[in-house]
Structure formats: C-alpha cells, structure tokens
Amino acid sequence: MKLFISYARVDKPYCIQIAEALGIHEVWYDSRLYVGQNWWEEILWRLAWCEGFVYLLSPESISSEYCVREMQLALQMGKPIFPVKIVGDTIVPEEIATLQYADMSNGLTLAAGSTLLNAIYLSERNMTRVEPLKPLKTGNGNGNGHHVKVVVAEPPPAEVLPLNGDVNAIVGKSAEALEAGQYDEAYFLLKRAIEHGLTAMYVDLEQLLREAEIGLEEDGKRREREREYRAIAQLVKLTRTRAIGCQSFLAFHNDFPEYDPDNLLEICESEQAAGNTLKRTRTQPRPSIPMLEWCEIPHGVLNVVIERNGEKQRDTLQIDPFNLSRFPVTNAQYQLFLDDQNGYANPRWWEFSPFALKWHEENYEPLPSKFQGDDRPRENVTWYEAMAFCNWLSERLGMLISLPTRQQWQRAARGDDQRLYPWGNEFDTSLCNALESKIHQTTMVMRYVKGVSAYGLYDMAGNVWEWCLNGAYDDCDLMTERPRAVQGGSFMSAHERAQNGFHFPLNPESRFGSIGFRIATLARS
C-alpha cells in the first residue's frame, strides 16, 4: 500500500522509525528540506498518489498549517486516514476525532503497531489500485542499512515569495512563531525567504533560521527523552515487569539524571528486585526540581576595585568554596514555587525583610514570564521574589540556599585566570545570547555548551541579567531597601555589559523581561 506520512519537523526521528516499521509498504514522507511552489506541487501529487494518509499527531503537527492542510486535502480526496498519536496529551483534530487512532506516545509497542498495521490491512483489502501518474523515486529510507522501501521527494528550489516578499512581515511572523515554540513554522518561513534572497538591513535572517533549527533539535531531543521515559515508567509501575523496568531506568538515568517526573528512582531503590544496580554515590544533593544541578566553585581570590571613603582602591578578596546552580532558574523551576500552596503566597518566605514583606502584601500576584518555555530562564522577577524563592527552596531541599554575592558570582564567572568573559577574553556571538547575537529574546539555558565558564556554568554572559545578594561588595544586609547588583548582561545588552566585571545597581523591586537569577548554596564556615 502506498502511504503518505504527515508529521511536524520536530518529530522527524520518530517519523523515520515508523516508516521503517511499515517496511512492507511504500512509504513517502516529505523531507522538508526545500519549500516553494514546486515543493507544494510535489505534496499535492503525493497526496493523489497515496492510498492511505498516516497523520502523526503531536502538538506541533496539529498546529502546523502545512500538516493540517495536508490532512484536509487527504480528506477531500477520500483517502483513508490513519491517525497515530505520538505525544500523549495531543488533542485529535475535530475532522478525524471519530477515527480510531494508534497510540504510539509510549513508543513503538507491539499493541500500537498492531493497531496501525491492522487498520492499513483492512483498508488495503477494500481498495482499488490506481497506477501513479508519473514514475516514483525509491530508496532505502534514511540510509541506515534498513531495507525499507521509502520514497523521498527531492523538490526543486522554491519559486514563490513568502508573505509577498515583505521582510518586516516575515520577521514579525517568524518571531511570533519562535516565541510560541512553533519552530517548524518559523523554519519554513525563513527558509523560503532566504532561498529567495530576501534580506533585512539590521535583522540577520540566517541567525533567526539557526534559532529555529536549534529549537527543533532541542524539542526533538526532549520529545525522545520523554517518550523513552514513558515506556520505562510503564514497566516500573507494574509488579511483574518492575525489575526489567528498573534495569532500563538505570541506563536512562545515567544519561538524564535530572529527569524523573514520576520518581522512578525512589521506586527502584526500594525494590529488592533492583539489587545493587541502582546504588550511586551522591557527592551533592539530589535535585528535587528539574534541571537543578550544582557546580562546585573552589576557594580562590578575586581582584576588584572597591570604593572606600570616596576613593577607588584595588583589593584582593578571598572567596571561600561554595556551590552555584549550573543554569539560571528556569520557568519550570520557578513555576513550582508559584504552584505550591506553601510557596509564593506564604508570607513566611518574605519575612527576611520588612520591605520585602510590604512589597509582597502590595503585589500578591506575580508577573508572568515574558518569554515562555520550560527551559528558558525565568525573568520578570524582583530581588524580593528571587530571595523568597531561595527561602522556599531551602526548606524544600533541607539546605541553605541564597542568591550569590557579587564576589561569589564574579569568582564563578572569572575563574582563576580572571578572564573577561566566562569562556575567555574574546567575545564570540556563538557562545552567548547578547545584543550582537541578534536573537532579541531569551534562549534555552542549556544552549551554549561551548560558552560555559571554567566551572561548567551556563549563561553567565547574556540571556538574562542575574540578581546578586548585595550591591556593594561589603554590604550584605538584607534588612534594607538599598540597590542590589545584577550581573552578566542579557539578550538586550551589548557585549561590553556582558563582561564578568560589569554590573548594574537596581532597586530590589525592579523587574523586567531581561532580569532573572541563579542560586547558590551558602559557603560553610
């Protein structure tokens, strides 16, 4: 049977797996490397050619104008529709809501595969074959050695200008798509614009395209991680398969130690069936919220200029060892604080300062983050709110947590060699999200792998400014409303302000879409 697979680009790895599983059929899926009029004509011809339409259902595919249009055309042509849910909470489109779907959200299980294959078999028995109108190009799938008859089109270059060639409209729509996490839509639009030679005077379309590609890659990795975890969780939660599931979870946990939403580790550690396979050495506290990882900052010195009695003096500060969070606090982490009944609304966390308590009484509703996405840094947070988060998390983890002091922050960013930027002394737009990077919004905190500091800290330059405990080096009094420092620069900051030694003093009640924070464990005496 000739099958057309419709999918969102972020789901391409899973699309390839499903295409291979359907190896007894002729399977075509759009490689989505080219776009334009001829590309769409190819889609139309493939829809006419196919004898069945396989729709991979995910939040991205049901919101993609291309995928939705493909489904609508397949329905108009009277093609049998085979829905396959690949993300569990996806809402099935109304047009096909009455059709039985194969649930592969937990992986390519035998039951799900049988449901899809049986539906295709029954449809194939009842159809009348029609020869295609032109010859097909056939191949062996993705070239990985699997002998699967997969037809992949090679469309010619694009010919039609997107949005009538209005660069401002293209940039605006692309930015909206990126902000909404619709990387597939942004990729299509920007790819077409660039292939037509469209340019903007100040906006780098290639940079925006790379942002879309990175978003797609990260979403794809996250999707695969969640799918693998769901399959393992099913095994762990059933008594008969728990031992097997725990063994699988051990391998998964080694690769993704921060991801365990169902607390499988606790289940497996309590099971005799797991034996000693899940024992581990804990050199630092096990995080109880996603992506909370600590980096150890050893004892060292910090060369600074301190103003005393109206005069600036050079000084060398001794910095005791401490731990600093690898990433800035993310939207997902801060949301736990907001959602907890004993969290943001509890006056207890604000009693560290009468000014903080008064501010909270007058501002009991937090502002939403300007930029959405679980793994983006949380911004629109005052110094008071950042401190309240630290107090809440301290009790939750049973350890003392606070904002880093200015000297701690700079020690972690500068390292032993007193470097200008976290990675060295030369600025590089590929290593951080600053004004020169031309991204114009926050990015995922784990993005800049090559831009980490000497101690493995991400985003110490750019993305968002980060609150420090103090303003002046020698003033850590929490009971005042004196200005507090922000360090590191943001996506709106020129590279000079992203240098390790640059800071801004701000009133503690300030909050902007470019200011966030990271957390530290207080140095032991």
Percent of residues in the chain assigned helix, strand, coil, to nearest 5: 40, 15, 45
- Specify which of 50-64, 307-321, 378-392 reaches the highest per-range mean pLDDT: 378-392
pLDDT at res. 105: 84
As annotated, the residues of the chain forming the CATH 3.40.50.10140 domain(s) are: 2-151
pLDDT at res. 21: 84
DSSP 8-state symbol, 10: G
Confidence of residue 129 (pLDDT cuts 50, 70, 90): low
Confidence of residue 288 (pLDDT cuts 50, 70, 90): low
Question: Which single residue is written with the structure tokens 């005077």?
Answer: 201
> Which residues, 6+ apart, have CB-to-CB distance to 143 below 8 Å?
none
d(C-alpha 364, C-alpha 357), whole Å: 10
Q: Which of 22, 76, 70 is nearest to 44 (CA)?
A: 70
Query: Taking phi first (over 0 means left), then psi (-120 to 50 degrees means alpha), and beta for anything else, what does residue 498 get?
Result: alpha
pTM greater than 0.75: no
pLDDT at res. 463: 96
- Specify which of 96-110, 135-149, 203-217, 409-423 reaches the highest per-range mean pLDDT: 409-423
- Answer yes or no: is pLDDT of 469 > 60: yes
Strand pairing of 484-487 and 465-467?
antiparallel
d(C-alpha 82, C-alpha 330), whole Å: 38
- Answer yes or no: is pLDDT of 453 > 90: yes
| CA distance readout (Å), 514 to 42, 129, 408, 490 | 44, 59, 21, 6
Q: pLDDT, tens digit, for every residue of 105-117?
A: 877 776 778 888 8
User: At residue 457, what is the residue type?
Assistant: L
- Answer yes or no: is pLDDT of 153 > 80: no
Neighbours of 365 (CB within 10 A): 8
d(C-alpha 349, C-alpha 346), whole Å: 6
Question: Which single residue is written with the structure tokens 């769901």?
Answer: 230
Q: pLDDT, tens digit, for every residue of 54-106?
A: 999 998 899 888 889 999 999 999 999 999 999 888 999 999 999 989 998 87
d(C-alpha 70, C-alpha 66), whole Å: 6
85 SS3 class: strand
Strand pairing of 503-506 and 26-29?
unpaired
Confidence of residue 132 (pLDDT cuts 50, 70, 90): very low
Question: Six-digit token pair at 32?
Answer: 């989505």
DSSP 8-state symbol, 172: H
pLDDT at res. 305: 78
Question: Six-digit token pair at 447?
Answer: 């993005």
Question: Six-digit token pair at 295?
Answer: 């980096």
Neighbours of 372 (CB within 10 A): 12
pLDDT at res. 308: 67
- Specify which of 146-155, 215-224, 326-335 reaches the highest per-range mean pLDDT: 326-335
Lowest-pLDDT range, 46-50, 245-249, 295-299, 494-498?
A: 245-249
- Answer yes or no: is pLDDT of 133 > 60: no
Q: Which of 6, 2, 110, 114 is nearest to 48 (CA)?
A: 2
d(C-alpha 397, C-alpha 285), whole Å: 8
pLDDT at res. 251: 82
Percentage of the chain beyond pLDDT 70 is: 87
Which long-range CB contacts under 8 A does 357-361 form with residues at least 24 apart? 359/384, 359/508, 359/509, 360/384, 360/388
Specify the length of the chain in residues.
525
pLDDT at res. 29: 87
More confident residue, 34 or 89: 89
pLDDT at res. 239: 80
pLDDT at res. 361: 94
Architecture category of domain 2-151 in CATH: 3-Layer(aba) Sandwich (3.40)
- Specify which of 104-108, 396-400, 519-523 reaches the highest per-range mean pLDDT: 396-400
pLDDT at res. 149: 40
| Domain 294-521 listed as CATH 3.40.1440.10 | no
Q: What is the mean pLDDT of the chain?
A: 83
Taking the CA atoms of 75, 79, 82 and 85 in sequence, report the sign of the dihedral they define: negative
Q: Which of 97, 276, 61, 80 is nearest to 183 (CA)?
A: 61
Residue 211 dihedral angles phi and psi, to the nearest 5°: -60, -40
pLDDT at res. 142: 41
| CA distance readout (Å), 18 to 12, 27, 29, 53, 199 | 10, 10, 11, 13, 38
- Answer yes or no: is pLDDT of 5 > 90: yes
pLDDT at res. 407: 92
Question: Which single residue is written with the structure tokens 């093609």?
Answer: 79
As annotated, the residues of the chain forming the CATH 3.90.1580.10 domain(s) are: 294-521
Q: pLDDT, tens digit, for every residue of 405-447?
A: 999 999 999 999 999 999 999 999 999 999 999 998 999 999 9
Question: Six-digit token pair at 244?
Answer: 């097997």
d(C-alpha 293, C-alpha 518), whole Å: 11
d(C-alpha 446, C-alpha 518), whole Å: 14
- Answer yes or no: is pLDDT of 52 > 90: yes
pLDDT at res. 486: 96
pLDDT at res. 161: 66
Beta partners for residue 317, in sequence order: 302
Do the Cβ atoms of 296 and 324 come closer than 8 Å? Answer: no
Q: pLDDT, tens digit, for every residue of 13-23?
A: 888 888 888 87
